[in-house]
Structure formats: C-alpha cells, structure tokens
Amino acid sequence: MPEGPEIAREADQIRAAVLDKRVERVHFGLPHLSRREAAFEDARVVSVRPRGKAMLIGFDNGLTLYSHNQLYGRWYVRKAGSLPKTRRQLRMAIETQDRWALLYSASEIDVLDEVGLSMHPYLAKLGPDVLDPTLEAATISARLEDRRFQRRGLGALLLDQSFVAGLGNYLRSEIAFEARLHPDQRPLDLDPADRRRLARATLKMARRAYETKGVTLPRSQAAALRRAGQSWSRARHWVFARARQSCRRCDDTIVRFDLAGRRIYVCPTCQVLR
C-alpha cells in the first residue's frame, strides 16, 4: 500500500498537471458516481493535497474528490488523449485541455461537499500529517504521552492513522530502527529521551522517503550501495524486507516477524527489547 510519502509525490505530479485549470471532463469508472460527473463541467481545480494516505482534489464548485489508493490504486499523469499501457481498471479521470490525471484500480472514491469533508469517517479520525511542514517532533513526543496511545505497542501504534497520519508498513520498521527501539515496547515504557528520539525518527524517515522516492537510507549510503552493484530495492532500507541479512550498523542478522497482522523487521542488537 502506498504510504504518505508516495501519496504526497503523486499529489505533486497532479498539482503540476491540473492545478488552476478548467476541466473538460471528470469521469468516474464506478457506476454509482457517474451521475456526479455533470457537477464538474467547466469547474476549475483549486487545490490538490494529500491527507495521510488519501488524496483530496478541490474544485471551485465547492466539491472535493476524495480517493484512497488502498493496496492497488495508482495515479498516472499523461498528456491529453494519452492513456498508460496497463491492465488496471480506470476508476477516475480528471481531464483538462492538455493534461489528464488518471486513477486506476482504487475503489475508495467519493465526491464530498464541505460538510461531507468534515464528517468523512476516514478523514475525521486522522492525526497530524507526518509530512505537514509545520509538524514538529515536540508534538509527536507529546502525543506519545497521551492516554490514548501510552499502552499501545509501537509496532501497532505506528500504523494507527489517528496517532500520526501517513505512516505505513515500511516506515514503521525504519522508524523503530532509526530510534533504536523494539516495536514491542510501549510509549509507557519509554523515558523522555526515547520519546524524543522516536519523534525525531518519525519525521526524519518520512521526510527522507518523500524526498528520495521511498529510500530511507542516507543518500550517500544508498548511492554507495548502488555503485557497488546493488539494486534499488536492496539499497533502499535499513531493515525493511531484509530478513536474514546483516544489519547495516552492527552486522547482526535482521529478523522478521508479524505484528498487527503485517510483517515487521528488527535488528536484535540495535533494538533490544527492554
């Protein structure tokens, strides 16, 4: 599933293609939304913003297109009249005179007015967005002391969008490793220095992944691995998807286990369970 950094990069592409432009057509591939197409005739795109793992595209008619990629959804931006070569099903198209923004495979799509936007069940529960440039580590550290989150294991908490929105499976492994904390620990188990370190790691890993198209290693380290012949996927992360490989810090063996129904990766030496 695309995580916050991937959705934010898609938003950048869509924004560059259609922001401030009049649409010639908005098309929905889901039958129950087709009757809403007429509402977008001659509407202008006024905003494109990610919110957690969702995309919000606002128009000057007061309506917002909400979408969530879930596991398989993917946005494409193409020249007008050009469709990508894919077997995916087209779910939504925003067509301007020169550029098209096309969403394939996603099924969680809605048309929302201002009230619907404020009451949407997914959006209403979201915590602060991890890629919000105004979000500070101190805010995340304070949330770790909130009663709602204190007794949650970190591995589950880092997937909870009401804690911090935009985090997902690869980021939780990388954040916990960067913070040198075991994902079975709880905020209640951490001292203030641990909480501050975890908060800083949360912002650092998410923002780095956004800037580098999903790479969480430092740029210089990832580049050195690529020069040594490793593929992009093998030179991408500290621990995620690296079971039975050597830790890049201490040379111990990375282990994988399931937590909150999804795979997670840990270095037993760098992330001792206290």
Please, what's the b/e burial string for 212-226 (b: 16 or more CB within 10 A of its CB; e: otherwise)? eebbbbeeeebeebe
Q: Which of 82, 99, 124 is the endpoint of a domain? A: 124
The residue type of 64 is T
Q: For residue 250, which of 230, 267, 232, 273 has the smallest C-alpha distance?
A: 267
β-strand 108-112 against 262-266: which pairing, if any? unpaired
CA distances from 61 to 11, 43, 113 (A): 20, 6, 9
Domain extent, residue 12, equals 4-124
* Same structural domain, 222 and 259: yes
Query: Looking at the 3D structure of the chain, how many domains does it have?
Result: 2
Is 107 domain-assigned?
Answer: yes
**Residue 261's pLDDT is what?**
86
**Residue 71's pLDDT is what?**
83
Is 36 labeled as catalytic in the residue annotation? no
* pLDDT tens for each residue of the chain, 274 residues long: 689 999 999 999 999 999 999 999 999 999 999 999 999 999 999 999 999 999 999 999 999 999 999 889 999 999 999 999 999 999 999 999 999 999 999 989 999 999 999 999 999 999 999 999 999 999 999 999 999 999 999 999 999 999 999 999 999 999 999 999 999 999 999 999 999 999 999 999 999 999 999 999 999 999 999 999 999 999 999 999 999 999 999 999 999 999 888 999 999 999 998 7
* Same structural domain, 154 and 246: yes
Considering the candidates 24, 262, 263, 268, report the single residue annotated as catalytic: 262
> In a 3-state reduction of DSSP, which class is residue 147?
coil
Is 3 labeled as catalytic in the residue annotation? yes
Is 273 domain-assigned?
Answer: no
Dist CA 228 CA 203 (whole Å): 29
Q: For residue 207, which of 262, 265, 135, 270 has the smallest C-alpha distance?
A: 135
Is 274 domain-assigned?
Answer: no
CB 40 within 8 A of CB 33: no
**Structure tokens, 141:** 């550290």
> How many beta carbons lie within 10 A of that of residue 127, not counting itself?
21
**Residue 257's pLDDT is what?**
95
Considering the candidates 3, 10, 174, 178, report the single residue annotated as catalytic: 3
**What CATH number should be reported for the domain holding residue 65?**
3.20.190.10
* Same structural domain, 171 and 259: yes
**Residue 135's pLDDT is what?**
98
* Same structural domain, 205 and 89: no
**Residue 7's pLDDT is what?**
96
Is 158 domain-assigned?
Answer: yes
Considering the candidates 9, 15, 51, 53, report the single residue annotated as catalytic: 53
Dist CA 13 CA 3 (whole Å): 16
* Same structural domain, 36 and 120: yes
φ/ψ region of 100 (left if φ > 0, alpha if ψ in -120 to 50, else beta) reads beta
Q: At what angle do helices 169-178 and 192-211 cross, to 10 degrees?
A: 130
Is 53 labeled as catalytic in the residue annotation? yes
Query: Which string of DSSP letters, residue by residue, matches 193-261?
Result: HHHHHHHHHHHHHHHHHHHTTS--S-HHHHHHHHHTT--TTTTS-SSTT-TTSBPTTT-PBPEEEEETT
